[in-house]
Structure 1
């Protein structure tokens, strides 16, 4: 039986001294909340960030052991360089970073930018680091996957009508399916490493904060204003991730808030959309990602 989630607090993390944990996107939002809690619990947190100057500022404000390393998940060369720069083993890899863009563009590798940053970059990073991961891989997905439609014949949305929310949901559904296949492969290999998927709920963060388009900028301002008053703060948004570290959760589980529409609440095991439970599609997504990134899980 899982513990009473209503009693969960960061104190349940216990003493993480000696643990080395990577958090991508650690300068803002859920990543910052996650980093603060883990460092406070004694872990050494490697803050994997695009802006190392801001990362250094954040690290200076955090009580605990941290280091800042540069990675741009939208650039495979940067992902490879980051993996090469990490010394020693890693206990937990938290693929937290994510983006919501206001217009379609492609990464330097020719990937649709939302998919490239939210799924293909973390996919490559995980494969490149896997040989040094000791215990857990956590992928921060989203309940936005429930409204998504997978475009296996057009993963980069070159022929599909592109909208910001469609691309975001599509990338998170791809991440959910990758997580499904990752868990299957780890089980088949009898690996000591487990993986979990996370939905942080509605969080007041900077996921989509700016736009060059006046209407989009105005919309973001309204949404941000509502979020600041009604949504979880970044520390609350980090709770499902932290819960998956502290509690004996079944491998492959999807964790998120138990409140209405999954917006807020205490962490619990969540069901997935039917599309996110399709093992055949999961295998195809991983085959696609392997081909695009030139990486595979060394297992």
Structure 2
């Protein structure tokens, strides 16, 4: 008797094939997962648009990446910048990757009066996607986080003006909001029979600069400890980009949530993963989207 064992090969960037002719926007592409994503896509032949706040650093990164790239100004914490962005593009794009994310050391507001974390991580990308969708040909990928699994939204106080604000609490809530937006975005695109699909991703624990949020001596020292550990055991930035790239290369269902294969969602190769029950609530998702539409003055044009 012969026993056959099915071996599933690990994912690699070679699965992307030749992306020559594809135009792909990556927000937050100067560091971390965004930089890793842009680097791999350019290597695969895509024309990568680095949508970044710091265009000087963006130009430096574009030079380091090589291939076909361009740098376009985008500050997700400023709706004026978000509204201006589509007109700065020379042509339509195939894929929009909402990758940019932020942690803030203290509670601050954006220029539009939004709590900074939710403004940058959710409301900015939400408005960008709505404004840009008529110029997107095939796909929107939102980089979320398993941090959403421990978060609780306060629909009556989304900017945490009256409830307690903490750095990680605000971050988790912003990612839960993004997860719920992704749920409703997928539902609306399918209901409209749009050719555009959307997915959500979790990059795992990545040795990047995201945790470097302070120049205060105590917090900076803590960051150095975390970074030292991360450099040894966490995914590097290209491994962190793999869940996003997996959405481009693999025939996965619309609305999928892609994370990493290791225990506790910390590291490993890209796989389909589960989301929290809170992130599967269509009623709450509709309320979150209604909140974002009212705050940004934008809605999905389908």
Q: Does 1:70 align with 2:76?
A: no
Determine whether 1:59 maps to 2:62.
yes
Matched, 1:40 2:43: yes
Cα offsets for 1:184-220 (capped at 9, x unmatched): 0001001100000000000011113141443322222
Runs of 5+ consecutive residues of structure 1 not aligned to the other structure: none
Per-residue CA deviation, residues 72-116 of structure 1 (Å, 9 max, x unaligned), is 000000111112211221100000000011110000000000000
Give how far 1:4 is off. Answer: 7.1
What is the match of residue 132 of structure 2? 129
1:107 maps to 2:110: yes
Please name the residue that 1:88 is paired with. 91
1:197/1:252 Cα in 2 relative to 1: closer, same or farther (>3 Å)?
A: same
Contact in 1 for aligned 2:143/2:202 (Cα 8 Å) = yes
Are positions 1:19 and 2:22 aligned together?
A: yes
Q: Which residue of 2 aligns with 1:272?
A: 275
Instruction: Answer whether contact 1:102 1:216 (CA < 8 A) is retained.
Output: no
What SS is found at the alignment partner of 1:195?
strand
Alignment size in residue pairs: 297
Structure possessing the higher radius of gyration over alpha carbons: 2
Q: In structure 1, what is the Cα distance between the partners aligned to 2:7 and 2:70? A: 34
More deviation, 82-91/156-165: 82-91
**Aligned equivalent of 2:294:** 291
8 Å CA contact 2:77–2:124 kept in 1: the answer is: yes
Q: Partner residue of 2:192?
A: 189
The CA deviation string for residues 143-200 of structure 1, in whole angstroms up to 9 with x for no partner, is 0000100111100011111100000000000000000000000010011000000000
TM superposition shift of 1:8 = 1.4
The answer on 1:248 being equivalent to 2:251 is yes
2:198 maps to 1:199:
no
Q: Is the 8 A contact 1:5 1:268 kept in 2?
A: no
**What SS class does the counterpart of residue 7 from structure 1 fall into?**
coil
Question: In 1, distance between residues paired with 2:7 and 2:33?
Answer: 23
**8 Å Cα contact 1:5-1:267 kept in structure 2:** no
Match of 1:164 among 142, 161, 167: 167
User: What is the RMSD computed on CA atoms of the aligned residues?
Assistant: 1.2
Q: Could you tell me how far apart the structure 2 residues matched to 1:4 and 1:238 are?
A: 24
Deviation at 1:69, TM superposition (A): 0.6
Does the Cα contact within 8 Å between 1:183 and 1:252 map onto a contact in 2? yes
Shift of 1:5: 5.9
In the alignment, the residues of structure 2 paired with residue 18 and residue 114 of structure 1 have an alpha-carbon distance, to the nearest angstrom, of 35
The answer on whether the counterparts of 2:198 and 2:254 sit within 8 Å (CA) in structure 1 is yes
Q: Which moved more, 1:287-296 or 1:209-218?
A: 209-218
Match of 1:238 among 238, 241, 246: 241
Query: Could you list the runs of 5+ residues in structure 2 that have no partner in the other structure?
Result: 1-5
Is contact 1:45-1:65 (8 Å) kept?
yes
Among 254, 258, 263, which residue is 1:260 paired with? Answer: 263
- Choose which of 221, 225, 247 in structure 2 pairs with 1:222: 225
